[in-house]
Chains A and B, each alone.
Chain A
Amino acid sequence: MSLVFDFDCVAGDATHPTDVGKFTVLRKAHPYRSKTYDVQMDYAISFTNDGKAIHQYHGVMGLGVVRTLRTAASDWFGSHGCVRLREEDAKRLYSWADSTTSIEVR
């Protein structure tokens, strides 16, 4: 196994942790808007039964700022269980992964 991409991400907060374990790609969708949270989640790769996904982060602040704030200020800056990526990273991963791709969250 060789490293293909290495991306920064923001995962779930303490109240809504990202599921840990081995998964498969259940769905891919782009463009995509979550009905549950009424938020944009482009380049979504869903990997859990309840729809947790790796997707583009659409917030106003940059992902780097959110990561820093999460580390320095509050866990509140975490997600509700999804794995957020920068747009360009989400796009690259979405193009590369297909329904046979395995996902492991550690």
Chain B
Amino acid sequence: MGRQYDQHRGALTRRLRWFWLLGAVGLLGVTALCWRVLSASHSSEVLPGTVVFEMQPTLLVKLEYSTPNRRVTVTRPNDSDDPFSVVVTDAAGKQVEHCQAGNAFQPVLAAITKIVARQGLPTDEPVPPEKARLRLEDATDIGPVEWRVAESARGMVLTTPEYGYVVETPVAIFSRLEAGCTGLSGS
């Protein structure tokens, strides 16, 4: 009788052990799933005045501003005080301008290395037509950043595949970039 009871108790303990193990594994699975779902569907708040992007201006090594008609590329060899050079190519990739960036580039550099949101773009709101692409590379290994640039009645709009925001950056900054040497080489 006692032996039968011990066997029964042993079997029950083993079953409970499995029950707890499966429960723990299940809980971990559900937690991981929730985390993936929440992470994928996360909606980030962008309040007016939020600095949506800022980088060290001294670390910028390459800036590309591409429109359907031309590409303006501003580069410097490294993160030193070397001057930036400006190369403009047409839609076919042919170089049409080449110059050294002057003091006129400084406000552009300041503006594109610190971008402040005027407001976040609601996800259900249609994005205005793309006007250009802005790509920045710095001397770190973090990787480049790229935005689609558009213009709306509320101001310039920058979007990534995940986010969009109306920014405080004046349209004149983008116009100066698009103008290439005319906009960036002056003193």
Binding site for B on A (CB under 8 A): 24-31, 33, 35, 39-40, 42, 46, 49-51, 58-61, 94, 98-99
Contact of A60 among B38, B59, B114 (CB under 8 A): B38
Query: 21 A-B Cβ contacts within 8 A?
Result: A25-B56, A26-B56, A26-B59, A26-B138, A26-B140, A27-B53, A27-B138, A27-B142, A29-B54, A29-B145, A30-B46, A30-B50, A30-B51, A31-B46, A31-B162, A46-B140, A50-B140, A50-B141, A51-B142, A51-B143, A58-B38
Whether B31 contacts A46 by the Cβ 8 Å rule is: no
Complex CA gap A46/B35 in Å reads 23
Whether B54 contacts A98 by the Cβ 8 Å rule is: yes
Complex CA gap A9/B35 in Å reads 19
- Give the A-B contact count at a CB cut-off of 8 A: 71
SS of A interface (majority): loop
SS of B interface (majority): mixed
Known A30-B44, A30-B50, A30-B51; contact A58-B39, beta-carbon cutoff 8 A: yes
Whether A27 contacts B35 by the Cβ 8 Å rule is: no
Besides A42-B42, A42-B44, 14 more A-B contacts (Cβ < 8 Å) are A25-B54, A25-B56, A26-B55, A26-B56, A27-B54, A30-B44, A30-B51, A46-B140, A46-B142, A49-B141, A58-B38, A58-B42, A59-B35, A99-B55
Complex CA gap A27/B56 in Å reads 7
Whether A99 contacts B54 by the Cβ 8 Å rule is: yes
Q: Which residues of chain A are within 8 angstroms of B163 by Cβ–Cβ distance?
A: 31
Complex CA gap A94/B50 in Å reads 9
